[in-house]
Structure 1
Amino acid sequence: MIDIFFASVLLGAVSGISAGLFGIGGGLIIVPILVMLFTQHGFAAELVMIMSVATSLATIIATSISSVWAHHRLGAVVWDKVFRLMPGIVVGSVLGALLANQMPKEVLRLVFLVYLVYAAINMALAHKPKPGQVAASKRVDNVAAVFAGSLSAILGIGGGTLIVPFLVHFQLPMRHAVAVASACGLPIAITSTISYVLLGRTVSALPEGSFGYVYCPAFLGIVLASIFTAPIGAKWANKIPSKQLKRYFSILLFVMAVKMLWSYQGMVSSHFTRLLHL
């Protein structure tokens, strides 16, 4: 427990800097590293992925609050849009947590792996969403909100990489799109975390220090460090060439994806071998 706490402090420092530097949520880094940590410390294999996702979402609550406040002070948050998206986001987050709880661990890991590769490619190519020609209808907003909430809850992310392109495509300026996505990340994190805590209450194989599927020592370590390092990353963002750094960061995401793919292949192979011996 203590080893994971100190490792999580380091993880929180890295994820906080990356969030400030690259403008992405910490889930992309937090989830795969927690998967490695939890596996090394002997957590039950069927719980490693879902606990990593749940713990990542719990940490996003703390980081989202400071981020939303900063965007609000700058007058960038379009609150009417946030409140329009929020019901769908809350419903989607609950659905995503319920779905993740029913997924086989191999499938949940594969879903995250695909998204990790997608995010790495987008960052390597410095892809920017292009504005569309029309504003979104209420129905389109509701469908997009449910989808973003569901996928974010499954992946353990704040949803910015899903929500920002959607908002920009439907004529919201990038500055406001980022702020709205940041504000939407808070209900995603809160609703998903509550769902994962409730879903994990009756699971008997959870390690000591767990609150539902959220592993508290890792949560505390990440939050304590990321609160202090996120502003550092934001300052560096104005001094360091971002395009080059994003390409380097995309390489890191690819490395983590390969690591997860390697272990995923091992899980599938062992599962297949057991089936052959039945």
Structure 2
Amino acid sequence: MDHWLWLAGLAAAMGATGLLSGLLAGLFGVGGGIVIVPVLFYILPLFDVPTATQMKVAVATSLATIIPTSIVSARKHWAKGAIDMPLLKSLALPIFVGVLIGTALAVVLKGPGLTLVFATVALLVAINMGFTDVAFRIRDSMPFGILRQVIGIAIGAISAMMGIGGGTVGVPVLGMFGTPIRSAVATSSAFGIIISIPATIGLILMGIGADGRPPYSLGWVNLIGFALIVPGSILATPWGVSLAHSISPTLLKRAFAVFLAFTSLRMFYSLFF
């Protein structure tokens, strides 16, 4: 009986994680990975997953759940006409190249290395979003040429390594280059599709037969986590999209910063204490 109660509690926790990640996916264009990765990082030890592989499983499983969530989020933002299609098309290939690089690094790096990347990038983004005005920008438009390609590659690589959908990096970067916050959120939700599909495939292929994976895993993707998180994510994503178009841009930006800072500090704590 205790065993079944424990499984029921785990299922409830995963379902709640799905609802929260879906809400944030629509609200911030982040694909929910910024929630899913740290939650899985703390849940996986309950299954005796080795420390060296916990972050790999968390990142891969998060990316798998982002596939349907990003599709739902992007469709909702598209219906509202908020996605900057010319910008998306110009960044699609560089982001894809970055995803290939980031996926390879996610496999090569050890667990603490991935955790450090996640915590550092999340904290930097939180500082940027929390201490700059919603109108803050480096310039009024995205640069063209090689610099735009480098920006796209960086977004793809960092997002794949962190197990996120692109919004955590994409939203502040697009904002700094003159994209309005709501358009940045909407366009970044489409980044999630470009990032999550190839990254998930890569982590499945490169994790086949690897040691230290929990039961019912396909490569580095844990199918139990995927099955329990996805329904809640899909259900709650439209709620987040509606909220993103109804609250003030300043509040949207500050809320994003607070959540990222909290997540980052929790990850740093796990590394050093």
TM-score (norm 1): 0.83
Partner in structure 2 of residue 217 of structure 1: 224
Please point out which of 188, 192, 202 is paired with 1:185: 192
Aligned equivalents of 1:260 and 1:78: distance in 2?
33
SS at 2:18's partner residue?
helix
Partner in structure 2 of residue 227 of structure 1: 234
Amino acid at match of 1:206: R
Aligned equivalents of 2:176 and 2:161: distance in 1?
24
Amino acid at match of 1:155: M
Structure 1 unaligned blocks of 5 or more: 267-278
| Cα distance change, pair 93–254 in 1 and its aligned pair in 2 (3 A) | same
Please point out which of 8, 22, 25 is paired with 1:16: 22
> 1:101 deviation in Å?
1.0
- More deviation, 36-45/1-10: 1-10
Amino acid at match of 1:56: S
Amino acid at match of 2:190: A
SS at 1:143's partner residue?
helix
After superposition, residues 132-143 of structure 1 pair within 5 angstroms as 132-133=139-140, 135-143=142-150
Instruction: Decide whether the 8 Å contact of 1:5 with 1:220 is kept in 2.
Output: no
After superposition, residues 251-270 of structure 1 pair within 5 angstroms as 251=258, 253-266=260-273
Identity over aligned residues, as a percent?
36
Q: Which has the larger radius of gyration?
A: 1
> What whole-Å deviation, never above 9, does each CA across 1:93-143 have from its counterpart, x for those lacking one?
011011121112221111111123223334443653426145521322211
Partner in structure 2 of residue 271 of structure 1: none
Partner in structure 2 of residue 35 of structure 1: 41
Aligned length: 266
The answer to whether 1:102 aligns with 2:102 is no
The answer to whether 1:87 aligns with 2:93 is yes
Please point out which of 101, 111, 118 is paired with 1:112: 118
Instruction: Decide whether the 8 Å contact of 2:55 with 2:111 is kept in 1.
Output: yes
Amino acid at match of 1:11: T
Structure 2 unaligned blocks of 5 or more: 1-5
TM-score (norm 2): 0.84
Aligned equivalents of 2:247 and 2:181: distance in 1?
21
RMSD, aligned CA: 2.8
Instruction: Decide whether the 8 Å contact of 2:100 with 2:199 is kept in 1.
Output: yes
- More deviation, 61-70/158-167: 158-167
